[in-house]
Structure 1
Amino acid sequence: MQYGEEPKGQNAPGAGEEKGAADVTPSPVRGKLTKDAPLDKLVWFKSGGPADWLFEPADLEDLTSFLQGLEEGTPVMAIGLGSNLIIRDGGVPGVVVRLGKPFASVEVRRDNILECGGGAPGILVSSTARDAGIAGMEFLRGIPGTVGGFVRMNGGAYGREVADILVDCDVVFPNGDCVNIPAEDLDYTYRHSRLPEGAIVVAARFQGDPGDPEEIGREMDRIAAEREASQPLRTKTGGSTFKNPDGKKAWQLVDEAGCRGLKMGGAQVSEKHANFLINTGDATSSDIEGLGEEVRRRVSEKTGVALEWEIKRVGRP
């Protein structure tokens, strides 16, 4: 199959859509397949309902054969470290795929290229690059997620984004087809790619430049210290909530609308960084999403700017 064709089964519901529980007949797998699997412990917000099915594949062959055995139209969604994600309280229909240790390798190739599994966290990618004297990937130290997630959404921080370093990626579609996609075919824009719902990034290759490991390490330390000082990292949060509008900072607009510290149920706009929502202890996903929508309403009313969600919201309301 060529990228751009419509693969069968590629109709996972988007945010806000409702769909009944998928009738998944388990096929033989070598990984772990769990019915009605709790997801709250797998996401940073620590809230939300269960997945109809949670599949943790043993390897790429296990993943593709499992997907090929699904009934056409079964919703499929990938999850990494669970940052940048609200799982709605009604749970997630269909199959949630979690790429674990078998997809978390990072290997150094020639010409300053790193080959990374879709489940590899950003800190592992940047640390491996540092140790190999490969510069240009320090910013991944500041992205709280895995390769699959930040390749999909063109993740970025500290002046750089994935579009600056991606060579290509391997993607598995919900029907089990595995396709290699060059970076230029993803049509990257700010926090967006053309990858469809249900497509799972299982591997990617990043291009760096020759660099000095000590200098790279110092830059990574600077990024880590800046994140610690400015973001509520030690709370139940999901990362940056809203995209920065052209020429503006989302946190400044939230502040201007008087929303810093605003609460709804157990959810609160962070006092430390106004573009972060936090679970103060017992928030439901409805509290968190509802608070975000109230912030959007107040910002629009005060400034005329319609903030767009950066955090992905999935599942049944």
Structure 2
Amino acid sequence: MAPDCSVEGTIEAPIDTDGLKGKLTPDAPLAKLVWFKSGGKADWLFEPEDLADLKEFLRRLDGDLPVMALGLGSNMIVRDGGVPGVVIKLGKPFADVAIDDESCVVACGGGAHGILVASAARDCGVAGLEFMRGIPGTVGGFVRMNGGAYGREVSDVLIDCEVVMPDGRFHTLPASDLQYSYRHSALPEGAVVVRARFKGEPGDPEVIGAKMDEIAEARENSQPLRTKTGGSTFKNPPGKKAWELVDAAGCRGLTMGGAQVSEKHTNFLLNTGDATSADIEGLGEEVKRRVYEHSGVELEWEIQRVGRP
């Protein structure tokens, strides 16, 4: 029999945890869970044991507190004041990948990494999902943000997704309901993506693997992968590339506190070692100001910024 929900410390839990099996942590540090390695704490961090556990937890919460799902934390600034309410972290029980060879449908948990999805599809001879090799995140995150790379995005392949709402209700949403646009969806605030289905097509595993290798090499050559970063900072404006605008505005290598604009790829911000989230976000705002002053283009954040200043 699985143990009841463990609650660290002596702070009173926001709900009755009897019968729940996951781990509920108050004042949970989030810096270690995000790529920038900066930011404050979550009021509460819940790591569910399974789908039933998550649904029951949120049913008891009943929308009384804000809910935010956290994947790899690769495209996120957690502000220094921390995140109010409950952060949901999906672990291994939500990271499975199942493939129907005949239909080329790939079904995976919201916690599955993009590289795992692409690799599993390759091994089964399913093409069309290679681009997920280039998305540094989990299925839940890139379903919400219409993640994309190297000419394709989630809206091109998503069939539907299963979500748990902040009050515990469970829904299956077809891709058409998400009203996808560039790096945006109409997924309700606080909804946790627990599963998604993608449509691929028959392909040769060797050809698929070669394309994935090309994507991996392109990322290695052009992006500061081995740094504390948050991925692409700004959306590409229509007909333009954000990095070119940032570079033209003289922002390559620009610093603020411990934050720096990458010299390798100017649409990436870096934590050089001791940056606060305020440093990182402030640097981004300064880059936006300089770009607008230089070119008249108003850059939009692609990185999600959450929590209290």
Residue number in structure 2 paired with 1:9: none
Which protein has greater RCO, CA pairs closer than 8 Å, 6+ apart?
A: 1
Residue number in structure 1 paired with 2:90: 99
Q: CA deviation at 1:264?
A: 0.1
1:41-94 alpha-carbon deviations (Å, 9 max, x no partner): 000000000100000000110001001111533100000011000000000000
Output the CA distance in 2 between the equivalents of 1:273 and 1:68.
44
Aligned pair 1:41/2:32, yes or no?
A: yes
Output the CA distance in 2 between the equivalents of 1:73 and 1:245.
37
Q: Is the 8 A contact 1:24 1:71 kept in 2?
A: no
Q: Is the 8 A contact 2:62 2:168 kept in 1?
A: no
Aligned pair 1:194/2:180, yes or no?
A: no
Letter in 1 for 2:126: I
Residue number in structure 1 paired with 2:138: 146
Structure 2 residues not aligned, in runs of 5+: 1-11
Residue number in structure 2 paired with 1:25: 15
Structure 2 counterpart of 1:308, from 287, 290, 300: 300
Q: Is the 8 A contact 1:186 1:193 kept in 2?
A: yes
Structure 1 counterpart of 2:290, from 298, 302, 308: 298
Residue number in structure 1 paired with 2:5: none
Aligned pair 1:90/2:81, yes or no?
A: yes
Q: CA deviation at 1:26?
A: 4.7
Aligned pair 1:269/2:261, yes or no?
A: yes
Provide runs of 4+ in structure 1 moved above 3 Å: none
Q: Is the 8 A contact 2:65 2:86 kept in 1?
A: yes
Q: How does 1:111-122 map to 2 (within 5 A)?
A: 111-122=103-114
Aligned pair 1:165/2:185, yes or no?
A: no
Residue number in structure 2 paired with 1:57: 48
Output the CA distance in 1 between the equivalents of 2:91 and 2:72.
9
Output the CA distance in 1 between the equivalents of 2:155 and 2:135.
14
Q: CA deviation at 1:25?
A: 3.1
Structure 1 residues not aligned, in runs of 5+: 1-21
Work out the percentage of aligned pairs sharing the same amino acid: 72
Letter in 2 for 1:243: K
RMSD: 1.3
Secondary structure of 2:301 counterpart: coil
Aligned pair 1:241/2:230, yes or no?
A: no
Residue number in structure 1 paired with 2:63: 72
